[in-house]
Amino acid sequence: MIPRQRKFHQRSRRGAGIAAVIVMLAILNLVIVGSIAPAADEASTQALRVDTMRAIYAADSGGMVVAKLANVNGTPPTTGSTVSLTGATIKYVQVPGAGLAGTATIVGSSGSATRRVRVVIQSP
């Protein structure tokens, strides 16, 4: 009877060892997933910030073009025209005619971000 009891105890210990390894792997998996998930969220947030800054700079550049052309009595961009830049787009939504007062509306976009700038032009 003694040999049978030893085999029984060895099998139960072997089962406990396997259970401990499985629990340890599960905890390790949770730690790894918990550290990777916030990094992915941070990367997408950073990409959105970059797109937002590109959209702001594009809209601001379009506004400066309209303001400069209004100061030198140049021909402004036509309403509805679009300028494609590297990574961004400028769209002139509303632009008053040459030598006219009014409000110019320019939209800059990059990726999923868009920003709008309004420039008030007074008569010369």
For 53, residues 6+ apart whose C-beta sits below 8 A from its C-beta are: none
Kindly state the average pLDDT of the residues 44-57: 91
Give residue limits of the domains in the chain.
2-121
Q: Report residue 22 CA to chain centroid gap.
A: 39
- Top-confidence residue, 97 or 14: 97
Summary mean pLDDT of the chain? 85
The CA distance from 118 to 105, in Å, is 5
SS3 state of residue 117? strand
Q: What is the enclosing helix (H) or strand (E) of 20?
A: helix 2-71
Residue % of the chain over a pLDDT of 70:
85
